[in-house]
Amino acid sequence: MPYCTEEDLVNLIPRGELAQLTTEAGDEPDAVVVAQAIAQADAEIDSYLGVRYVLPLAETPARVRALSVDMALYHLYSRRSLMPEVRRDKYKDAVGFLKDVTAGRAQIMGLDGKEEPGAAGDVITVGSADRVFSRDKMGGF
2 and 42 in contact (C-beta within 8 Å)?
Answer: yes
Q: Domain-by-domain residue ranges, the chain? A: 6-103
4 and 69 in contact (C-beta within 8 Å)?
Answer: yes
Q: Is 96 exposed, middle or buried (0-12, 13-18, 19+ CB in 10 A)?
A: exposed
Instruction: For residues 65 and 69, give the distance between their C-alpha atoms in angstroms, rounded to a whole number.
Output: 6
Q: What is the pTM of this model?
A: 0.79
Instruction: For residues 73 and 87, give the distance between their C-alpha atoms in angstroms, rounded to a whole number.
Output: 7
pLDDT tens string 10-63: 999 999 999 999 998 889 999 999 999 999 999 999 999 999 999 999 999 999
Instruction: For the beta carbon of residue 18, count every other beta carbon within 10 angstroms.
Output: 22
pLDDT band at 129 (very low <50, low <70, confident <90, very high): low
Average pLDDT in the chain: 87
